[in-house]
Structure 1
Amino acid sequence: MTDDPSRRNILRNSGVLAGAALIAGVPGGHTAQAAAPRAGVESPVVELPAGRLRGGTEGGLAVFKGVPYAAPPVGALRWRPAQPHPGWQGTRDATAFGPSAPQLYREGGDQVLGTHGSPPFDEDCLTLNVWTPGAGGAKRPVMVWIHGGGFISGSGSMPNYSGETFARNGDLVVVTINYRLGPLGYLYFGEDGAGGNFWLTDQLAALNWVRENIAAFGGDPDNITVAGQSGGALSVAALAGAQTKGRPLFRRAILQSPPLGLKIPTRAESLQRTAAYLDILGAKNVAELRAVPWPRLNAATIEMFGRTARWGYWSTPYLPVLDGVTLDRDPADLLLSGAGAGIEVLIGWTREEANFAFALSEPYAAATREQVLARVRDTFGSRAEQAYTAYEEARPGARPVDVLMDLITDDLFRMPAVALAEQRAARGRPVWAYQFNLPTPAHGGRLAAAHCLELPFTFNNFDKWSQAPFLAGLAPRVRDGLAETMHASWISFIRTGDPNHDPMPQWDRYDRESRTTMALDSVTTAVGDLAGYWRRLHQRR
Structure 2
Amino acid sequence: MDNSPDRAPVVDLKAGRLRGAVEEGVTVFRAVPYATPPVGPLRWRPAQPHPGWSGVRDATADGPSVPQMYAEGGDPVLGGHGSPPFDEDCLTLNIWTPAVDAGRRPVLFWIHGGGFVSGSGSMPIYSGEEFARDGDIVVVSINYRTGPLGYLYLGDELDAAGKGRGAEEGEDRPCATGAGNFWLTDQLAALRWVHDNITHFGGDPDTITVAGQSGGAVSTAALAGHPEARGMLKRVILQSPPLGLDIPAPAAYLERTAAYLQFAGAADVDELRELPWPRLIEAAGALFGHTMRWGYWPTPFLPVRDGVTLHEHPGRTLLDDAAADIDVMIGWTREEANFGFALDAGYAEATRDQVVARIAEVFDTDAEAVYAAYARTRPGARPVDVLMDLITDELFRVPCLELAEARAASGRPVWAYQFDLPAPVHDGRLAAAHCLELPFVFHNFDKWSHVPLVRGIAPAVRDGLADTMHQAWIAFVRTGNPNHAGVPEWERYGAESRATMRFDSVVTSVNDLAGHSRTLHEGRRRP
CA contact (8 A) 1:265 1:320 kept: yes
1:357-368 aligned at under 5 Å gives the runs 357-368=340-351
Give the superposition deviation at 1:381.
Answer: 2.9
Query: Cα deviation per residue 1:135-178 (whole Å; 9 max; x = unaligned)?
Result: 12100000000000000110001000000000000000000000
- Alignment-derived partner of residue 33 in structure 1: none
- Alignment-derived partner of residue 11 in structure 1: none
What is the aligned counterpart of 1:241 among 213, 218, 225?
225
What is the aligned counterpart of 2:318 among 335, 339, 358?
335
- Alignment-derived partner of residue 470 in structure 2: 487
SS of residue in 2 equivalent to 1:92: strand
The one-letter amino acid paired with 1:208 is: R
Is 2:202 the partner of 1:200? no
SS of residue in 2 equivalent to 1:300: helix
SS of residue in 2 equivalent to 1:526: strand
Query: Cα deviation per residue 1:256-290 (whole Å; 9 max; x = unaligned)?
Result: 00000000011001111100000112211111100
1:21-32 aligned at under 5 Å gives the runs none
Query: Cα deviation per residue 1:2-52 (whole Å; 9 max; x = unaligned)?
Result: xxxxxxxxxxxxxxxxxxxxxxxxxxxxxxxxxxxx997111111111011
Runs of at least 5 residues in structure 1 that lack an aligned partner in the other structure: 1-37
- Alignment-derived partner of residue 213 in structure 1: 197
TM-score, normalised relative to structure 1: 0.92
What is the aligned counterpart of 2:24 among 59, 63, 71?
59
Is 2:522 the partner of 1:539? yes
Q: Matched residues in 2 for 1:387 and 1:412: separation?
A: 16
Is 2:117 the partner of 1:133? no
CA contact (8 A) 2:225 2:320 kept: no
Give the superposition deviation at 1:503.
Answer: 2.6
Is 2:333 the partner of 1:350? yes
Aligned residues: 504
Q: Matched residues in 1 for 2:402 and 2:429: separation?
A: 28
Q: Matched residues in 2 for 1:339 and 1:41: separation?
A: 45
Give the superposition deviation at 1:341.
Answer: 2.3
What is the aligned counterpart of 1:105 among 70, 74, 77?
70
Q: Matched residues in 2 for 1:344 and 1:237: separation?
A: 12
- Alignment-derived partner of residue 280 in structure 2: 297
- Alignment-derived partner of residue 420 in structure 1: 403
Give the superposition deviation at 1:243.
Answer: 4.4
Query: Cα deviation per residue 1:368-387 (whole Å; 9 max; x = unaligned)?
Result: 01111111111213421111
- Alignment-derived partner of residue 213 in structure 2: 229
The one-letter amino acid paired with 1:508 is: E
Q: Matched residues in 2 for 1:223 and 1:241: separation?
A: 16
Is 2:268 the partner of 1:285? yes
CA contact (8 A) 1:108 1:467 kept: no
Q: Matched residues in 2 for 1:295 and 1:344: separation?
A: 41
Give the superposition deviation at 1:540.
Answer: 3.4
Among all aligned residue pairs of Structure 1 and Structure 2, give the percentage whose two residues are the same amino acid.
67
Q: Matched residues in 1 for 2:374 and 2:5: separation?
A: 62
- Alignment-derived partner of residue 474 in structure 1: 457
The one-letter amino acid paired with 1:85 is: H
Q: Give the ranges of 4+ consecutive aligned residues of structure 1 lying more than 4 Å apart after TM superposition.
A: none
Give the superposition deviation at 1:244.
Answer: 6.5
The one-letter amino acid paired with 1:393 is: R
1:363-402 aligned at under 5 Å gives the runs 363-402=346-385
CA contact (8 A) 2:364 2:523 kept: no
Give the superposition deviation at 1:108.
Answer: 2.4
- Alignment-derived partner of residue 19 in structure 1: none
- Alignment-derived partner of residue 386 in structure 2: 403
In terms of mean alpha carbon deviation, does 400-409 or 82-91 score higher? Answer: 82-91
CA contact (8 A) 2:5 2:22 kept: no
1:490-509 aligned at under 5 Å gives the runs 490-509=473-492
Runs of at least 5 residues in structure 2 that lack an aligned partner in the other structure: 160-176
Q: Matched residues in 1 for 2:227 and 2:329: separation?
A: 17
Q: Matched residues in 1 for 2:180 and 2:339: separation?
A: 29
1:172-211 aligned at under 5 Å gives the runs 172-191=137-156, 192=159, 193-211=177-195
The one-letter amino acid paired with 2:90 is: C
Q: Matched residues in 1 for 2:478 and 2:458: separation?
A: 30
Give the superposition deviation at 1:242.
Answer: 2.0
CA contact (8 A) 1:309 1:317 kept: yes
The one-letter amino acid paired with 1:383 is: D
Q: Matched residues in 1 for 2:5 and 2:47: separation?
A: 40
Q: Matched residues in 2 for 1:145 and 1:410: separation?
A: 25
What is the aligned counterpart of 2:125 among 152, 160, 172?
160
CA contact (8 A) 1:146 1:229 kept: yes
SS of residue in 1 equivalent to 2:155: coil
- Alignment-derived partner of residue 70 in structure 1: 35
1:425-440 aligned at under 5 Å gives the runs 425-440=408-423
Give the superposition deviation at 1:532.
Answer: 1.1
Q: Matched residues in 2 for 1:227 and 1:282: separation?
A: 38
CA contact (8 A) 1:99 1:122 kept: yes
The one-letter amino acid paired with 1:298 is: I
Q: Matched residues in 2 for 1:474 and 1:40: separation?
A: 35
In terms of mean alpha carbon deviation, does 428-437 or 90-99 score higher? Answer: 90-99
The one-letter amino acid paired with 2:329 is: L
In terms of mean alpha carbon deviation, does 222-231 or 275-284 score higher? Answer: 275-284
Q: Matched residues in 1 for 2:4 and 2:132: separation?
A: 23
Give the superposition deviation at 1:194.
Answer: 4.1
Give the superposition deviation at 1:98.
Answer: 1.0
The one-letter amino acid paired with 1:235 is: S
The one-letter amino acid paired with 2:56 is: T
TM-score, normalised relative to structure 2: 0.94
